[in-house]
Amino acid sequence: MEKAITVLPGDGIGPEVMKGTLRVLKAIESRFHHRFTVTEMPIGGNAIDETGNPLPPETIEQCKKSDAVLLGAVGGPKWDGMEQRPEQGLLRIRKELNVFANVRPVKAFGPLADIAPLKPALLENVDLVFVRELTGGIYFGQPKERKGSDEAVDTLYYHRKEIERVVKKAFVLAASRKKKLTSVDKANVLESSKLWREVVDETAKHYPDVKVEHMLVDNAAMQLVRNPAQFDVIVTENMFGDILSDEASMITGSLGMLASASLSEEGPGLYEPVHGSAPDIAGTNAANPLGMILSAAMMLRHSFHMNDEADAIELAVQEVLNANFRTGDISSNKDKVSTTDQVVEQLIYRLEDNAAAATLIEVYV
């Protein structure tokens, strides 16, 4: 199969984790006989440096005509305080591609129980997915402005239609899984949350097999560490989903482990790890590349329907963890810390080795 992928490495550790991910995709290309045409474009701080714009029109155009988009991360202290911020480029590309549903799976990886801050017993059977609304809410609402030296305003606005489409996606996902949907809001205080709850209850009538519960966001933050196994699909608005999913990354042991898919009704999906540009470790070959690589696996599965290929990557990730190759963020042994590049090499070695093993099995059966 031939596919066109636009690659937006971004800033900080973005280019570092993207470099390894492209090597993994090369290994997939040769093992499964595909052709991925990769076009790199600027976004974020590097785009500001190059063009004065965190999202140049050429980047938007290239993303829109591709089959899928892979993004590393944007931002960093270099651009703090500037009028144009790298993060504006990220928000705008999500809006341009209309990727309103951000799917963030959270599963405990067995070998990482020694590093995850929760007790091992709490990690058993955790398999939850966030569906975060991504193109509305307080990150986008107008007015959004600083008023003189003492006042500032942000606006949390939702239209019913924006809620309906993301809630529907969450119901469809829950119906295909453990059939439980937790809708997280702050309906005891926020008008937008009351509308959100109303839409969830109306949509629920079309999915009688899915058990629905409403949970206030402050309680949800607590329940995620008290008993994460109670959740199946969690649907929530943009900012709550942003914050809760970083919290939930500790179920895996590190923010560097979490992948995501940002999906629209039609058009290319945008695949990005949950973490940011991690300026504190950028340039040191220390970043965990697995969140980015697992995002590429989500791209293969969701945008290209390449399930075997995505399975192969996920299996290799599990094997690398089983073999105890870990970057510093997930290492419990300071004397055995792998670099970003070493983790990628171990992964590729397993992808190739498993392919050779599969060929041998074919020959001998």
Ligand X SMILES: NC(=O)C1=CN([C@@H]2O[C@H](COP(=O)(O)OP(=O)(O)OC[C@H]3O[C@@H](n4cnc5c(N)ncnc54)[C@H](O)[C@@H]3O)[C@@H](O)[C@H]2O)C=CC1
Ligand Y SMILES: CC(C)CC(=O)C(=O)O
329 binds ligand X (CB under 6 A): yes
- Would the annotation count 56 as a binding residue? no
Instruction: Choose between 67 and 242: whose C-beta lies nearer to Mg ion.
Output: 242
Catalytic residue (one of 158, 185, 186, 271):
186
Mask for 241-260, x = binds ligand X (CB under 6 A): --------------xx----
Instruction: Choose between 3 and 275: whose C-beta lies nearer to ligand Y.
Output: 275
Name the binder of 139 from ligand X, Mg ion, ligand Y, none, CB < 5-8 A by kind. Answer: ligand Y
Contacts with Mg ion by CB under 5 A lie at: 242
Instruction: Choose between 17 and 90: whose C-beta lies nearer to ligand Y.
Output: 90
Amino acid at site 264: S
Q: Which two tokens stand for residue 340?
A: 């970003």
Q: Which two tokens stand for residue 241?
A: 């989903």
Catalytic residue (one of 80, 201, 218, 308):
218
Note if 158 is an active site residue.
Answer: no
Rounded CA gap, 300 and 306, in Å?
Answer: 5
Count CB neighbours of 320 within 10 A. Answer: 24
Q: Rounded to whole angstroms, what are the CA distances from 232 to 157, 177, 335, 357?
A: 27, 8, 37, 35
Instruction: Choose between 242 and 309: whose C-beta lies nearer to Mg ion.
Output: 242
Q: Is 150 exposed, middle or buried (0-12, 13-18, 19+ CB in 10 A)?
A: exposed
74 binds ligand X (CB under 6 A): yes
User: Smallest gap, in angstroms, from Cβ of residue 42 to ligand Y?
Assistant: 17
Catalytic residue (one of 11, 139, 271, 329):
139
294 binds ligand X (CB under 6 A): no
Amino acid at site 286: A
Q: DSSP class of residue 231? A: -
Alpha helices, H only, the chain: 14-32, 45-51, 57-64, 86-96, 120-123, 160-175, 191-204, 217-226, 238-248, 290-302, 307-322, 340-364
User: Smallest gap, in angstroms, from Cβ of residue 44 to ligand X?
Assistant: 7
Note if 218 is an active site residue.
Answer: yes
User: Smallest gap, in angstroms, from Cβ of residue 276 to Mg ion?
Assistant: 7
- Which positions are annotated as active-site residues? 139, 186, 218, 242, 246
